[in-house]
Amino acid sequence: AKARDAGVKVFARADDDANQLRMIRKLSRDAFEYSPVLAKKLEGLEADAVAFAKTQDDVVSVVAAAVSENVPVVARGAGTGNYGQAVPLFGGIVLDLSGLDQIEKLDAERGTVLAGAGSLLSTIEDATRQQGWELRQHPSTRRNATLGGFVAGGSTGHGALLHGGLSEDGAVLGLRVVTAEATPRVLELRGRDVFPVVHAYGTNGIIVAVEVPLARAQPWVDVTACFPSLKEAAAFALDAGNAPSVPCRGAAVYQAPLAFKFLDKEPSIMHADRPSTDGDHVALVQCAAAGVGPIRRLAEDNGGEVSRVINAEDAPRPMYEFGWNHTTLHCRRKDKSTTYLQSVLEPDKALELVQKVQDEFDSSELLQHLECVRFGGKVGFASLALLWPSTHERLHEILAWHEANGMPIFNPHTEVLEDGGMKQTDFAQLGFKARADPGGVLNPGKMRAWDEQRATTEEAADPRGSFAASYR
């Protein structure tokens, strides 16, 4: 009611309107169903209301109302996150930010863009391309995802082979963030001060605008090559990613028969005259137009055969929509039992680790899908292997095996920030939360360190206790 009084559009369960209830249900979900663990845990959780912010002032009004009533607020961009990050665990308000969709400044001299957090990545890049610039990186959900959602909930994607992931210094130049204090403040963060809020799942501030650096747009070309072995396909992708004179924006590897079974359908990643076979290990590389010759030679040097070369702008489907978690999406379209893992194969041991995984797992249980990423300057793999584990216990065994064999897991089967990637408290994030969200209303239940701290220090003093205690 307070948010409505401030002029913000709100759908509330209390109104008991069928259309509003349907929207509240829809906007309380993200893509958590890619994990069977999260599908079981998060299904059916819903907000009490959805508030639709159109301006920074709307965000301030909603957050102030929520703080005054001690009600949870969960930020939402497009809801394409995979880990239930945008699912309200304890009811309260989902704050839809898709209305903050203005490009505030496109600086074609410097190559930077400042845009509202709800701006679609596709809209932003369509605008920057007209000035000769493109995003340095974007998730494979470029079409639908928001800039704020990517910065708050994503990590890396297409372009990370050239520029590294979002955690690299300089990947995000500035953020404008609304705090959840009794009188919310609007903070301008720049330089390394952005880091506590990047990939924090909206637990310590609501991002209203983001500034990112751009790269000069290139005429990209997609090259598909087939190999008799996975190791050769992986070696080619690493060679392509490391070739000093050939910029490659992305390089992905698919263990046989992934491409044949799940990817090489309409539209195909192969040439019509050379459809894939179930024995093909396939690599897909996006390189600068002038680099096609060297890329073709690298494929041949590694025992491969180039099966398709196409200008990216003529491709019936963008290359990145076959990569990253879109590979999982295509597999799940054919087989709903498909799930996945996320791990890192460090540059110096990448090929050895690819072989180790292949030796360990039967292809009926795990098929490797690898994306080349520049880690601090060196090219290694992000693995998004496809999995068909017989039970949840077996799924956890597979994850544990990777950890034990030197491949850190970024667990996509948990909604908890620390368990997903860092595995330890990020004290900068926690400290920022203590100042920006002292009442803990922002996305409660997602930052473990905060909940543990509250449980020990406040339950005795505050009869309401933490959200986790009072709502569960």
Binding site for ligand FAD (CB under 6 A): 30-31, 74-82, 85-86, 97, 117, 139-141, 145-146, 148-150, 152-157, 201-202, 206-207, 324-326, 329, 443
Compare residues 357 and 417 and give the one whose CB is closer to ligand FAD.
Answer: 417
Residue closer to ligand FAD (CB basis): 59 or 306: 59
Closer by beta carbon to ligand FAD, 94 or else 270: 94
Closest residue to ligand FAD, judged by C-beta, is 149
Name the minimum Å distance from CB 318 to ligand FAD.
12
Which residue's CB is nearer to ligand FAD, number 59 or number 259? 59
Q: Which is nearer to ligand FAD, 202 or 291 (by Cβ)?
A: 202
Residues 114, 117, 121, 123: what is their CA dihedral angle, to the nearest 10 degrees?
Answer: -70
Nearest distance, CB of residue 377 and ligand FAD, angstroms: 20
- What is 255-277 written as a DSSP string? -TTHIIIIISSSSPSS-TTS---
Smallest gap from Cβ 98 to ligand FAD, in A, equals 8
Q: What is d(CA 141, CA 271) in angstroms, rounded to the nearest whole number?
A: 25
Buried b / exposed e along 261-295 (16+ C-beta atoms within 10 A): bbbbeeebbbeeeeebeeebbbbbbbbbeebbeeb
Q: Give least dist CB 119 to ligand FAD, A.
A: 10
If the CB atoms of residues 143 and 274 are measured against ligand FAD, the closer one turns out to be 143
Which amino acid is it at 445?
A: G
Cβ 139 to ligand FAD, closest distance in Å? 3
- Of 96, 70, 65, 92, residue with least CA distance to 2: 65
Distances (CA, A) of 103 to 47, 118, 119, 155: 29, 10, 7, 22
The least distance separating ligand FAD from the CB of residue 461, rounded to whole angstroms, comes to 28
Shortest distance in whole angstroms from residue 326 CB to ligand FAD: 5
Q: What is the DSSP letter of 422?
A: I
CB of 78 vs ligand FAD, minimal distance in Å? 4
Of 41, 50, 43, 45, the closest CA to residue 17 belongs to 50
Q: Which is nearer to ligand FAD, 145 or 223 (CB)?
A: 145
User: Which amino acid type is present at position 345?
Assistant: L
In terms of residues, how long is the chain?
A: 472
Minimum gap (Å) between residue 340 Cβ and ligand FAD: 10
DSSP code per residue over 60-91:
HHHHHHHHHHT--EEEESSS--SSSTTS-TT-
**Cis-peptide into 257, omega within 30 deg:** yes
Indicate the residue among 2 and 143 with the shorter CB distance to ligand FAD. 143
The phi, psi pair for 209, rounded to 5°, reads -155, 150
d(CA 367, CA 389): 11
Annotate 283-342 with three-state secondary structure.
EEEEEEHHHHHHHHHHHHHCCCEEEEEEEHHHCCCCHHHHCHHHHHHHHHHHCCCCEECC
Among 409, 450, 410, residue whose Cα is nearest residue 428: 450
Structural tokens at position 80: 């394409």
Handedness of CA 246, 251, 253, 254 (dihedral sign): negative
Residue 3 or residue 306: which is nearer to ligand FAD going by CB? 3
CB nearer ligand FAD, residue 77 or residue 92: 77
Rounded CA separation 254/445 (Å): 36
Q: Which is nearer to ligand FAD, 271 or 333 (CB)?
A: 333
Q: How far is the CB of 211 from ligand FAD (least distance, A)?
A: 14
Residue 117 CB, nearest distance to ligand FAD (Å)? 4
